[in-house]
Amino acid sequence: MSTPVILEDLQAAFPGWCIWRSSAGRIWATRNDRRLSQREIDHGLSQTTDADDIAQLAEQLKEQEAAEQAL
């Protein structure tokens, strides 16, 4: 997958996440309709994550997907 460059691309690439830009300019993502178990958290999954820019957040979400698949 190429790196998304706008929020709409990022949302389309990661439909399991709600993605938005804060008033401070950071990009945030939180999981849709699912709370993580303690086991998932212990294995490095995050309920919510943030980054300075779209490319950084895309990388974090790719890492979250990989960690989830590794469980």
Instruction: Kindly report the average pLDDT of the chain as a whole number.
Output: 92
pLDDT confidence bin for 34, thresholds 50/70/90? confident
Q: Is the pLDDT of residue 1 over 60?
A: no
pLDDT exceeds 60 at position 53: yes
Six-digit token string for 41? 């958290």
Give the DSSP letter of residue 36: P
As a whole number of angstroms, the longest Cα–Cα distance in the chain is 35
Tell me the mean pLDDT in the region 14-18. Answer: 95
